[in-house]
Structures are given as structure tokens and as C-alpha cells.
A = this chain, B = another copy of it.
Amino acid sequence: MTSVFKALSDPTRRKVLELLKQGPMSAGELAGHFVVSKPTMSAHFSVLKEADLVHAQKDGKQVIYHLKLSVLEEALLGLAGSFGIAMPGKQASGGVAKGETAK
């Protein structure tokens, strides 16, 4: 959970995830959307991999990154749940009961 929020705390990394939301993309193509150097982007990809928010698949000389939406969803849901925050979609779930911890 900490690693996910740490990953999300950088605007560049959030934007990478948003780009990946539209579909898998190579490291180079992703890097093309930013002004920083490719090694810097590579470091960002490492943080995202570490947080399990993306999956890297090697394809020839490229590396294709995929968003792992379920992991992001679980983190957000986990935090929202532990604060009884209701969010759009599905039906109300009542949040965490009194005295519970909401891992």
C-alpha cells in the first residue's frame, strides 16, 4: 500500500499510468510524452513496477508496459473503504464497521 501511494505521489508517474490506461505502450513511446531523459523515465518505470502498478513485457528490442488497473483499484478501494468514503459506481457498501481496522 505504501509503495503504491509513493508511486502515485509523483505527477510524472501518474501521467504514465494515465497514458497506459489507453493501452499498452513501449518505454520509448511513453518517454516521448515527457521532457525528462530516458534513463529518468526508466527509473520511474522501476518505481511503478516495484509498486506492481505496471507489468513489463519484452518484445524484441522494446519493452511494452501494461497498466495493472486492478492493483490501483484495490489500493484506492482499500483506502476509501477504511475511511468510509463512498465513490461513484456499484452500490453503497457502508464502509468499515466500528472497531474494525480495514487492513
Contacts and interface: CB of A to CB of B under 8 A. Distances in A.
Interface of A: 1-2, 5-6, 8-11, 14, 17-18, 21, 69, 72-73, 76-77, 79-93, 102-103
A47 B78 CA distance: 22
Given A72-B83, A73-B83, 10 more contacts: A5-B5, A5-B8, A8-B9, A14-B79, A72-B85, A73-B80, A77-B88, A80-B87, A87-B87, A89-B91
Contacts of A88: 77, 80-81, 86-87, 89-93
Complex copy number for this chain? 2
A69 to B, nearest CB: 7
A85 B81 CA distance: 14
